[in-house]
Amino acid sequence: MTSKKLVNSVAGCADDTLAGLVACDPNLQLLQGHRVALRSDLDSLKGRVALLSGGGSGHEPAHAGFIGKGMLTGVIAGAVFTSPAVGSILAAIRAVAQAGTVGTLLIVKNYTGDRLNFGLAREQARAEGIPVEMVVIGDDSAFTVLKKAGRRGLCGTVLIHKVAGALAEAGVGLEEITKRVSTVAKAMGTLGVSLSSCSVPGSKPTFELSADEVELGLGIHGEAGVHRIKMATADEIVRLMLDHMTNTSNASHVPVQPGSSVVMMVNNLGGLSFLELGIIADAAVRSLEGHGVKIARALVGTFMSALEMPGFSLTLLLVDEPLLKLIDAETTAAAWPNVAKVYVTGRKRSRAAPTEPQEAPGSTTAGGSASKQMALVLERVCTTLLGLEEHLNALDRAAGDGDCGTTHSRAARAIQGWLKEGPPPASPAQLLSKLSILLLEKMGGSSGALYGLFLTAAAQPLKAKTDLPAWSAAMDAGLEAMQKYGKAAPGDRTMLDSLWAAGQELQAWKSPGADLFQALTKAVKSWGHHCTHRLKKSFSLMPEMTDAMDRERMEAPKKTWMGLRRLRSHRDAQGRRKMAKPRNHCGHKGGRTLLYCM
């Protein structure tokens, strides 16, 4: 079965992709009548060496993405995975020669078709009196015993483009460039791995792998590799690849030793996510540095792909300072990354976390009856939430992803763990701030963020005062923050509705002589009976919410109402409320601790 591809036609896809690249890059031009892309400023190259490369299409951004000042002069493209035509190669050579260049270097990957076609075009051009040289790049480190055909040309070819381009831009002659890049190519190796194959447009996959296999040492045209290994972690696969590439018993190994400096390329073969690419890069850096290898530069991205192949290749190039300067030289090539000109190894990769603001003396005072009472209240709340975990999950399954209870239990356990570390702050503002941080870090999800927003904002009015008007203002601030960032409004049938209804009743606390319990009683009644059970879904809940679920949801407010009645069961001689023990674990430090209970 052929895979789906977004093309206009199988026959024209190579022409279309090159046309699209040129259309979007004013620095490029097409050579009429040929599948050739050239720099649009050819006339500026008079007296310099031209660099041409190419091969089959399907390896994008190679090679046309590397045309530009400081890299390639032009590229000749073939059909997908097919060597370019001799006539087009010769036309490109003639074009750059007629623009006034003093010679042309052909940079060719080591594949039979490419060697033959570029070689034939070179001979024809030389017969016309055009000075042309050719270097064949073979950087494949897969085969431990070299075959007659030599090592295949892979992603390391892009580094040769860069080195040759920097030399040509500096005005170095054809013979010297040829000699130097040939030397560089011998100090380089590449190894690829893939989770599955790729498929040429209109064709079936080039090979098949079982679900638990990966192909090691494959080529960029879907050719089979040297081993099929079992699926493993990114760390394990990268370590295996680097061991293979640097093993001295491997005839195509890279002679890397502790203390060596390398340029490392992590190349996406086309189908890997950026997430995976970052994981692989991290594994490669750790593995190389663990063996004492210094990473001078790290290039991570898509440089030479194999259509949609879900795999990657690693390239190592041994470098010294002169070679590194050529790698660092400026280029306008669109596909070359903007790499910092500093060593990867030895660079400080993290910085200390910011210090928390200094708190005012006494603001975090713990201990005393209020702090102990608060700890008991929080512990009881947490125990209740843990007991309701499955019940809340069951309610959530009909309207969401079924993790409401789990999320709140995670928060409850985090608070319990925090309480074991010591008594909570006695200051209401500090308490809410600490709980906010804890829920943001440990609870997770939207609930953690919303509770964190509410508590963070609510803590601000309580820094100056903790009387009843301040608590009402705290409720207002928390609700405002939830609406601002959560984008829900009262009536949208979210967690905001209950809090909003309670907040409206707590406005009474702003009046002189407000009665604490009267306002709390109305707030709980409003929360339980008048805020959500008649609302229609308009924000986030699923329309499948049933009447039975509505009835279940009503039980929690009723229980809270009964708890409030128990809190009012005793009064002292001054009319202050006392807590019934052991039913409620709160003291009677005025209104403060009662507010904590709510």
The pLDDT, as a whole number, for residue 128 is: 98
- Arithmetic mean of pLDDT, 269-291: 98
| Predicted pLDDT of residue 584 | 34
On the question of pLDDT at 183 being above 70, the answer is yes
Maximum average pLDDT range among 55-59, 144-148, 367-371: 55-59
- Beta-carbon contacts of 291 under 8 Å, excluding residues fewer than 6 positions away, are 242, 256, 258
Residue-wise pLDDT tens digits, 480-489: 999 999 998 9
| pLDDT value at residue 559 | 45
* Strand segments (E) across 483-562: none
Beta-bridge mates of residue 133 = 105
Q: What's the whole-model pTM score? A: 0.78
Assign 580 a pLDDT band (cuts: 50, 70, 90).
very low
Asked if pLDDT for residue 326 goes beyond 50, the answer is yes
| Choice among 348-357, 408-417, 577-586 with the minimum mean pLDDT | 577-586
Q: How confident is the model at residue 539 (pLDDT cuts 50, 70, 90)?
A: low
Does position 544 have pLDDT exceeding 50, yes or no?
no
329 is written with which tokens? 């030289």
Q: Is the dihedral of CA 19, 25, 28, 29 positive or negative?
A: positive
Residue 564 has pLDDT above 50, yes or no: no
DSSP string, 425-474: BSSHHHHHHHHHHHHHHHT-HHHHHHHHHHHHHHHGGGGT--SHHHHHHH
Who's near 478: CB < 8 A, 6+ residues apart?
453, 454, 455, 457, 458, 499
Tell whether the model's pLDDT for residue 561 goes beyond 70: no
Bridge partners of residue 300, in order along the sequence:
266
Tell me the range of 31-45, 369-383, 437-451, 542-556 where mean pLDDT is highest: 31-45
The single residue listed with the structure tokens 């594949």 is 111
Instruction: Enumerate domains of the chain plus CATH numbers.
Output: 13-201+210-328 (3.40.50.10440), 368-425+487-597 (1.25.40), 427-486 (no CATH)
Q: What is the mean pLDDT of the chain?
A: 87
Q: Which positions ≥6 away from 515 have C-beta within 8 Å? A: 508
Q: What is the pLDDT of residues 203-222, one digit of tens each?
A: 888 788 888 999 999 999 98
pLDDT at 225 over 90: no
Tens-digit pLDDT profile for residues 71-99: 999 999 999 999 999 999 999 999 999 99
Mean pLDDT of 305-332: 97
Compute the Cα dihedral for 472, 474, 475, 477 and give only its sign.
positive
- Residues labelled catalytic: 221
Does pLDDT of 560 surpass 80? no
Which residues contribute to the annotated binding site? 56-59, 109, 114
pLDDT in the model for residue 533: 60
pLDDT band at 7 (very low <50, low <70, confident <90, very high): very high
Question: What does the alpha-carbon distance between residue 592 and residue 569 come to, in Å, rounded to a whole number?
Answer: 18
Burial class (CB in 10 A: 0-12, 13-18, 19+), 437: middle
110 vs 249: CA distance, rounded Å: 23
**Mean of pLDDT values over 428-442:** 94
Cα–Cα distances in Å, from 95 out to 78, 92, 169? 18, 5, 19
pLDDT confidence tier of residue 517, bands split at 50, 70 and 90: confident
Q: Which residues are annotated as a binding site for substrate?
A: 56-59, 109, 114
Confidence band for 509, pLDDT divided at 50, 70 and 90 = confident
| Residue 317: predicted pLDDT | 99
Residue 586 or 204, more confident: 204
| Banded model confidence at residue 401, pLDDT cuts 50, 70, 90 | confident
Report yes or no: 108 and 114 within 8 Å, Cβ to Cβ.
Answer: yes
Segment 309-318 mean pLDDT? 98
